[in-house]
Amino acid sequence: MSRVADIPTATVGRVVTYIRVLEELEAQNVLRASSGELARRAGVTPFQVRKDLTYFGRFGTRGIGYTVAVLRRELLRALGLDQTWNVVIVGMGRLGHAIANYPGASDYQFQNVGLFDVAPDVVGREVRGLTIQHMSQLGPFVASVAGTPRQVDMGLLTVPAEHAQAAAQALVAAGVGGILNFAPVVLQTQDLHLPEAFAAPGRREVTVENVDFLAGMKRLAFYMLGPQAGPAEE
Amino acid sequence: MSRVADIPTATVGRVVTYIRVLEELEAQNVLRASSGELARRAGVTPFQVRKDLTYFGRFGTRGIGYTVAVLRRELLRALGLDQTWNVVIVGMGRLGHAIANYPGASDYQFQNVGLFDVAPDVVGREVRGLTIQHMSQLGPFVASVAGTPRQVDMGLLTVPAEHAQAAAQALVAAGVGGILNFAPVVLQTQDLHLPEAFAAPGRREVTVENVDFLAGMKRLAFYMLGPQAGPAEE
């Protein structure tokens, strides 16, 4: 497998799609698939499939294709999706609730271990066996589970945009180095530094993935414009 | 502007991010920005920013940078985000509710005009002034608003995976040619055909954007694995 830093982010995104396609094939009891079949279902070219997979190892046999179960298992392993990732959700509005209740998450061993908010009418409520805690308890909670099987790996930010950077700071200050940001703002990662006690050697300090909840809608709008011409100039 | 089909999908995704960055700069009363500043905030290289923008026109002045308001306006226009897109949501579970209530959607003139489900305890409820209708009413509803300012442009699929393809078929049969699929399954678009009465000349028949609700979490898991080596073989 190539070094993580050498793998294009677009490739990582497509491999996530390939895994989903392989799961569908498995559900349909398909044992082997060609790069053409994977490509058709993923909406890319066969060349793209083969090129993307070279980053992760040597798979498949010319003329025979890929063994669905093996390729799925290896890609899950390559992406770290064969292990459990413990997650806290910061911001238990509707989106936080939707994620906390999303049935698919547990298929990938994303395990909610803590839920946080600041609203008095939300703190103390129970969601799927977890009591929503006040944000002031984030640091103590993360510290209390450190080194246990419930150690926090990732924080999901589902707070309003104006609170996202501060909530990210709170996660990082507590020692949570992976953030999935659903708030409609691009987090400024250069301002986020893990306390020295938490920073592992050889590991990027803080990893942020920004999820634009409306990005899909915006892309769809563009593709629905249809063929266009005429350059814009400032 | 280049033809839609010639613009890489990754570029479209990044331009969505640039627009978000430009909005932040505007909110901070920043009037001009270099490609370096845009790149830093968007988490890409300055070269990538400049290359992506060439697809949409000629922007900026060497040594002076981009006028934030102008670039934002032109990119919004290029992506079709300066016009209203009417949306129906099919599947009013927690995710459907989260989207129907998402405050950011109206900023981009995504307007919910109809909500649909099949569950007897959900149909008839009201969300933000819209009554949730039964799926059997989808076709008649879409027909009733055709040609009016509430004409349906897009369908958002937030149904369970096993119902996604059938719900997509229902949308397309009703004449809705743009689908944003949140269900954890890759829709098979080759099976989706707009009825002849609805297909506009020169327009791709059905446009589907698949949104993997967990894709961000999966990518984050990968990046948190840290530097790796050792190729996998089947």
Count of CB atoms situated within 10 Å of the CB of B181: 26
ipTM surpasses 0.90? no
Residue B104: which of A5, A177, A184 has the nearest Cβ?
A: A184
| Amino acid symbol at A152 | V
pLDDT at B189: 77
Separation CA A98–CA B216 (nearest Å): 15
Contact A11, B10 (CB under 8 A): no
Complete domains list, chain A, with CATH: 4-79 (1.10.10.10), 85-216 (3.40.50.720)
Contact A169, A206 (CB under 8 A): no
CA distance B91 to chain A (A): 13
Separation CA B27–CA B71 (nearest Å): 14
Res. B72: pLDDT tops 90? yes
What is B59-125 written as a DSSP string? Answer: --BTTTBEEHHHHHHHHHHHTTTTS-EEEEEE--SHHHHHHHT-GGGGGGTEEEEEEEE--TTTTT-
CA distance B84 to chain A (A): 10
CA distance B34 to chain A (A): 14
Percent with pLDDT over 90 in chain B: 42
Instruction: Give the mutation candidate from B214, B225, B228, B233 for the A interface (greatest A CB count, under 10 A).
Output: B214
Q: Which residues of B touch A232 (CB under 8 A)?
A: 1, 56-59, 74, 77-78
Nearest residue in B to A96, CA atom: B98
Task: Establish whether B92 is an annotated binding residue.
Answer: yes
Separation CA B136–CA B167 (nearest Å): 11
Q: Which two tokens stand for residue A158?
A: 């589902």
Separation CA A96–CA A98 (nearest Å): 5
Letter string b/e over residues A8-38, b meaning 16 or more CB atoms within 10 A of that residue's CB:
eeebbbbbbbbbbbbbbbeeeeeebbebebb
pLDDT tens for the 234 residues of chain A, in order: 566 667 877 788 889 889 988 988 998 899 999 999 999 888 788 998 999 999 988 888 888 899 999 999 999 999 888 888 899 999 998 788 878 877 666 666 788 999 999 999 999 999 989 999 999 999 999 999 999 999 999 999 999 888 999 999 999 999 998 999 988 787 877 778 788 777 665 555 788 887 776 777 777 888 777 654 334 444
Nearest residue in A to B111, CA atom: A217
Nearest residue in A to B215, CA atom: A16
Residue B176 DSSP one-character state: -
